[in-house]
Every structure is written in structure tokens, then in C-alpha cells.
Amino acid sequence: MARRILVIDDDEAIRFSVAILLRAKGYIVTLGVDGADGFDQFIKHQPEIVISDMVMPGNQSIQTIAKMRALNPKVAIIAMSGSIQGGPESFLKRAQEAGANHYLEKPFEAQQLLSLLKQVEDDGELGAAKNKS
């Protein structure tokens, strides 16, 4: 069975390039343009995995991830960002506090994302939230 993935990013090019990659690998992909839209798509499509940008207009990402985690503690959440203020350790801490399992620093290679998704699936992280990078 194909995994359902929600990709949330305000950058259209990133959103669509990630969607093309994941669809080519057999995933069922839903897109969100910002935190509010992403949360609506989360409710509507109930994805097993969420890939969310952390820097979006209105700084909605932290709140969106926290709300998704509260509704579904089993969803795997990958936070991503190209703007890591305070360095990677600070970003990881903020992402984990919001409920993210992993993070990706932009720009990333397609293989990095695919490897991380395989790790999430192989480690059984879809059954419980884990805080590891």
C-alpha cells in the first residue's frame, strides 16, 4: 500500500519538485501552501507522513506541527528549512519541541529525502513519535 504524504511549503518550486519526486516513487502526495492550508489538508487526507517547511509567512509552522502531533501522535513529521537561525542544533530543538521526528536542511538532494523516508518506514516510526535526527 502506498504511503500518504503531505508536503507543506510556501515555495511553489520546492512544493512541486518534492511532489514530483515522491509521486514517481509511488507515494500519494497532497500539498499545502502554508500552515493553515497544510493543517486543512492534514485533516482532510490523514497522511502518514508530513514534510513541512519551518519558515513560512506568519511563522505558522511550529503551531501547525504541534496541532498535527496533538491530533495524531503516530504521524511521522519531517521539518525542513533553509533558514536555520541559531544553527542546526537550535533548529532541531525547535522542530522537536513542535513534534517533528526529523529535519532536513535545504537545499537537499533527492536521495537525502528518499533515504530519510526509507529510514522512517524501516524504523517503524509511523507507529510512534520519536525525536531523532
- Provide DSSP, 51-68: EEES--GGG-HHHHHHHH
pLDDT at 83 over 90: no
Confidence of residue 95 (pLDDT cuts 50, 70, 90): confident
Q: Please give the pLDDT value at position 99.
A: 87
C-alpha closest to that of 51 among 1, 112, 93: 112
CATH architecture of 32-49+60-133: 3-Layer(aba) Sandwich (3.40)
Residues 29 and 21 sit within 8 Å (Cβ to Cβ): no
Q: Of 17-26, 45-54, 116-125, which gets the smallest average pLDDT?
A: 116-125
